[in-house]
Each structure stands twice: as C-alpha cells, then as structure tokens.
Structure 1
C-alpha cells in the first residue's frame, strides 16, 4: 500500500531546509540535491516537486512572503502599539526573522540579474512598503501623526529606516539588539507625532 504524503508538512520541511541552505551557504549552494540532503529526503522525490532550480527559487520567494504575511496579519493592538509590532516583525530580532532576511537578501541578489525572479523580489519590497504605509495610516487614524506630516513622504522615510535597521542588525554583535531597535523606533514615532 503506498504511503500517504502530507504535502503541507513536506513543503514546510523543504522550505525550512532551503532557508537553512540559503542563510548558511548562500545562493550558489541552493540546489535541489543540496536541499534534499538538508531535508533528509530523496533527491528524486524533491525533483518531482521542483524539477528545476528556478522552481525551487520561486518556491522560496513565495514561502518567505507567506510566512511574513501570516505574522503581520496576526498582529493585534491599536495605534502606536500595533505600529511598533508591525515594524518589529520586519526586523531580524530572532533567529527565524534573521534567517528570513538572509534568505531575502540572497534571493534578491540573484533577482538583480534573473528576469524570472525580479517580480518576486519586487513583491517582497512592495510588501514592506505597504506595511510602512499601514503604519503611517494607523498612526494617522489614532492621533499619532502631527498635523503637518506628509504620509507619502513618511512612508518612504520609514521604509528606508526599516531597511537600514534590518541590514544593521545582520551585522550587529549585540546580544540583545531589540533594546536599541525599540529606542530607534520609538524616537522615530515621536518625531512623527510632532
């Protein structure tokens, strides 16, 4: 009798293995064989799901977007509290989010020269921009923005701040970077309040 495969569980294992390979070894190491070895499954089995490296790369982009989106949608609260939680979800403040950022950087680097991946990289970038716009909108709706604030400009400024913080946190040796991040984000939100 053939074994039944839980495809969702299998995809979770494949995504986790691919993310580990990308974060640890870089984009050059991302291959069907390497991911199969990392996941502990047969290469032929993985190749049936992802016949080409391009399909595996697209899967990684899509999975990354799904995971971040799910976390963002789970954020609760209102006003400044919600804004802080959204911003923190986009930063590598734990091992999981650090791995996600490394995966995004590796895949986006490849997308610079791969037309088939550029749309996926752009969607991740645009997703961060939408979160920044949502933060500014949330603050505006709850009295957290000064009267003379330009929401379009502040969305751009927040996006740049979060991108910079994310890259800074990749290189920091601090054992608890969240403390400094919270101070930076609080200061930024104070500046928006006027």
Structure 2
C-alpha cells in the first residue's frame, strides 16, 4: 500500500522552520530556499504546499499562538491557570518565550502591509482580550476586585501592559523579575482587599472563562 502522508503535519513542519528562521534573522531571512534547508526538505516539497513565500508566511502566522498556549497550560500543571499566570505567560522570560516574542514582532511588522496577517492578529488579540475580560468579570462578581473595575477596559489595559513590558524585557531595560513585579503591582491596585489577592492566580480559570466569553 502507498505510504499515507500527513499533509497537516508537513505544513506545520514548514511553519516551524519559518518561525525558527524568523526568531534568528527576522522575516527578511525567510525564503523558500532557506525554509527548505531549515526543514531538511527540498524547495519543491515546500512549493508543493505553498505556491509562494507570501502563502507560506500567511500560514505560519496562524501558528504563532502555540507556544503561548503551552506556557499558559504549564503555569499550573495541577490545575487551571488564573489571569496572572496568563499574563506572565505572555512575557519573554525564557529562551522559548523570547523566540516566540521575536517571531510575533517580526510578523507584526509584516501585518502592517498584509491584511490577512493583520486579521490573524486582530482575531487572536480579540479572543485573548475576551478571555481576560471574562475572568475579571467573574472575579469582580465574586467580590475579589474593586467594584469600579470595567472588565473589558481592564483587559485591554492588562494586555497593553504586558505587551509593553515584553518589549522592555526583549530590549534589556527591564528584567523578567521586574516585569512580573510590575504586573503584580497593577493587579494589587484592582484587588478589593489584600487578603483576596489569590483571585489572580487561582480564581476564575482560563478554561471556565472561555466557556462564558
């Protein structure tokens, strides 16, 4: 019988090669030839799945969330992560997270001129914002947050905070520890009482918030 080919696996293999090159050299280093060499396959094999460099980049842009989702899940292996765990997972605190951030930034520049990639960014950010907002709303309803917190607006502020802090860590003018401390400082300002600070890590979970968003 002929060997069965897992086409989605092949596409993911190529996307992973794109991400590795982008982390090291930016998207300017990504070409069909370079990706083929990085993936250990022929250029013709790459072209079998992607007719052009643009098609390849657009597909790779859809795979950027994988590393973040893995870090969020790993934050609390014995339970569901809370909002603080989610925010910290977005920071480039280790080599893998740093590479993910570098790749995301490279694609962000590309998105400014590519509406399809820009759409992927908007969709991903919107989903993340909605999850954080749902987690915050549940914690506010439980009395863990100050009553004046506006969950949708606060979610936007928190994601903007970690985005800026992530860039600061990448550029070296904040350490990872300093970035986490600033996240904690902000969360403490919206906590209803010092004794209820645990809501940020073990209150409404990512999974349960997603079910209600």
TM-score (norm 2): 0.76
Task: Provide the alpha-carbon RMSD of the alignment.
Answer: 2.6
What is the alpha-carbon distance in structure 2 between the residues aligned to residue 150 and residue 58 of structure 1?
Answer: 35
Count of aligned positions: 190
Structure 2 residue aligned with 1:157: 157
Distance 1:86 1:141, change over 3 A: farther
1:193 aligns with 2:194: no
C-alpha distance in structure 2 between counterparts of 1:57 and 1:193, whole Å: 42
* Structure 2 unaligned residues grouped into runs of 5+: 193-213
The answer on whether the counterparts of 2:15 and 2:56 sit within 8 Å (CA) in structure 1 is no
Bigger shift: residues 3-12 or 39-48? 3-12
Q: Is the CA contact 2:58–2:117 (under 8 Å) kept in the aligned structure 1?
A: yes
CA contact (8 A) 1:18 1:60 kept: yes
Post-superposition offset of 1:87: 0.8
- Flag structure 1 segments of 5+ consecutive residues without an equivalent: none
Q: 1:152 to 1:6 in 2, by over 3 A?
A: closer
Superposed displacement of residue 15, structure 1: 2.5
Q: Distance in 2 between matches of 1:18 and 1:141?
A: 44
Q: 2 CA distance for matches of 1:141 and 1:14? A: 45
Question: In the alignment, which residue of structure 2 is the partner of 1:10?
Answer: 10
Aligned to 1:94: 94
Structure ranking higher on relative contact order (CA contacts 8 Å, 6+ apart) = 2
Closer, same or farther in 2 for the Cα pair 1:112/1:181, shift >3 Å?
same
Counterpart contact for 2:140–2:147, Cα < 8 Å:
no
Aligned residues of 1:144 and 1:193 also touching (Cα < 8 A):
yes
Greater helix content: 1
CA distance in 1 between counterparts of 2:38 and 2:177 reads 34
Q: Is the 8 A contact 1:107 1:121 kept in 2?
A: no
CA deviations on 1:54-104 (whole Å, 9 max, x unpaired) are: 2211111111134434554676546xx611111112121222221121111
CA distance in 1, matches of 2:6, 2:45: 13
Q: How does 1:1-194 map to 2 (within 5 A)?
A: 3-69=3-69, 71-72=71-72, 77=79, 82-172=82-172, 177-194=175-192
